[in-house]
Amino acid sequence: MLYLPQMSRDTPTKDLVKGSSGRKPRMRKVLPPQYVWPLLFTLGNLIAGFAAIHYANKDPQWAGPWGWSGLTMAGALIIVGMLLDSVDGALARLTGTVSELGATLDSLADLVTCGVAPAVMTIALVSMYVSENGALTLLGPDADLPWGKVVWSVAAVYVACTALRLARFNVETQPEKGPNEHIKFKGMPSPGAAGLVASLIILHQHFLKNGDDSLWIERAYAFGVPGVMLLCALAMVSNIPYDHFANRYLGRPQSFRFVATFVIIIFLGIWWFQETVAIGFIIYALSGPLSTLKSKDKEAILDS
């Protein structure tokens, strides 16, 4: 998550600019290089989300690099945006450029990459099975079939919950306290929700590309994704605690067991990438409710 600095009056990076008319010189603020790099990563996250929306609207018959469909390209771009989002915050803390302005800018980028882009992907996925003549016609609030309106409404609820989730995070979090403050999230983080939806759609396209002739399975899978998206939307605005994966597992010393498990996951990802990524996000999505139930069971045992 990016945090852009707040420039003070004593900032030495100001240039005098004098007009040709001889008027009083005015001060021009110039951002030092260490301030610009986190900004570029956040803008890269925003552009990745914008590009994902573009590819999600591609015709189902369109094939891009490596034979990827438009939805596969969109899902991959969302994951790239998530990686950029995880780097800009660490880079901002390393360079000491933490501020509320940067956090707000990062949330705007996440709203596009983790909110609007997955919603458009889901609508495009379901629309594949109702479009005529092979041309993609996106479902909308004016869809002829009732379930078409339902799918669009679920996507709209997901976008709204993403915005609420990001706004609540900005209000409740003080970025200047550093990374140790964010060991737990209140509610499912928007990148986790977007990663789950995007990975499930990528897995669907992987099965479709490999010649699975079971149309009813593909259709059931596609119509199940909006249900998962709705659960993710509710999880984002809930009070269920979720781990901050990077700060909890990558920013602290870990046991040999964790390292061995991480290496095994990497090898599984090399052989079965789509399946491994989807299962990983499913486990993360379930980790919040399971940890809550586990803590309640411990409290019940202590009270008994």
Residue 79 is predicted with a pLDDT of 96
Q: Where are the beta strands (DSSP E) in the chain?
A: 14-17, 26-29, 184-186, 241-243
Residue 138, domain member (yes or no): yes
User: Is 162 inside any structural domain?
Assistant: yes
Query: Would 26 be classed as within a structural domain?
Result: no
**37 to each of 40, 61, 239, 275, how far by Cα in Å?**
5, 38, 33, 33
Q: CB of 13 within 8 A of CB of 31? A: yes
Total number of domains in the chain: 1
Q: Residue 92: its pLDDT value, please?
A: 73
3-class DSSP assignment, residue 28: strand
The stretch 183-203 carries a mean pLDDT of 93
Joined together, the tokens standing for residue 103 give 């956090």
Range of weakest confidence among 61-75, 202-216, 225-239: 202-216
Summarised one tens digit per residue, pLDDT across range 76-121 is 999 999 999 988 777 777 777 676 767 788 999 999 999 999 999 9
Residue 243 backbone dihedrals phi, psi, to 5 degrees: -70, 145
Q: Is residue 195 part of a domain?
A: yes
Q: What angle do CA 148, 153, 155 make, to 5 degrees?
A: 100
Which CATH number is 134's domain given? 1.20.120.1760
Crossing angle of helices 100-110 and 146-172, rounded to 10°: 170
Contact 49, 117 (CB under 8 A): yes
* Full-model pTM: 0.83
* Token pair in block for residue 80: 């790239």
Residue 52 falls inside a structural domain: yes
**Containing H/E element for 189?**
none
With respect to residue 133, please indicate whether it lies within any of the assigned structural domains: yes
CA distance 192 to 173: 18
Please check whether residue 107 lies inside any domain of the structure. Answer: yes
Residue 209: give the domain boundaries.
31-252
- Confidence class of residue 278 from pLDDT cuts 50, 70 and 90? very high
Instruction: Kindly state the tokens that stand for 72.
Output: 């596969």
Q: Sign of the CA dihedral 188, 189, 193, 196?
A: negative
Q: Are residues 225 and 197 in contact, defined by beta-carbon separation less than 8 angstroms? A: yes
Give the β-pairing of 14-17 and 241-243. Answer: unpaired
Q: Are 77 and 52 in contact (CB under 8 A)?
A: yes
- Residue 45 · residue 84 · CB < 8 Å: yes
Determine the Cα–Cα distance for residues 4 and 175; give it in Å rounded to an integer. Answer: 11
